[in-house]
Amino acid sequence: MVTASRTKRVGFAALAMAAVLMTTTPTLAGSSISVQGVTSCGSSAVVTVRNTSFLMSLGTVRVEATVNGVTSVGSASVLLLPGQTSSVGVRFGGVISSVLSVGVTDNPNPF
């Protein structure tokens, strides 16, 4: 008798979980590309990024910097294999005096 009620509870839990998984919308996880470091020289900012997932990742690296006394934003796309680390160059129209922020956005995977 205990076995029958346990089987019913397990079956009900499995059906409830399946219903939740089938009716909810997927949420985006955090970025699978992480920033490892940033350097700047002249009019270029070089951002070192790493893919921390087990899938290929396509992303956009965004750099906000002070260039000739004005805040400017530059971006570059990057495609990384699982576990790959790469350097991405972002060029500006003048000499970079300081890098204010660096961010990475995952793009939808086209594969």
pLDDT digits (tens, 9 = 90+) for 71-97: 999 999 999 999 999 999 999 999 999
Q: State the average pLDDT over residues 57-84.
A: 94
Query: Taking the domains of the chain in order of start, what are their residue ranges?
Result: 33-106
Is residue 25's pLDDT more than 50? no
CB 93 within 8 A of CB 56: no
The share of the chain scoring above pLDDT 70, in percent, equals: 76
Fold of the domain spanning 33-106: Immunoglobulin-like (2.60.40)
Mean pLDDT of 12-41: 69
The encoded tokens of residue 50 equal 């790493």
| 3-state SS assignment for residue 6 | helix
Say which residues have a Cβ less than 8 Å from residue 66's Cβ, sequence separation at least 6: 72, 96, 97, 98, 100
> Do the beta carbons of residue 86 and residue 59 sit within 8 Å?
no
* Residue type at 68 in one-letter notation: N
Q: What is the pLDDT of residue 9?
A: 76
Instruction: Say if CB 80 and CB 33 are below 8 A apart.
Output: yes
pLDDT of residue 8: 77
Mean pLDDT value across residues 33-45: 94
Q: What pTM was estimated for this model as a whole?
A: 0.69
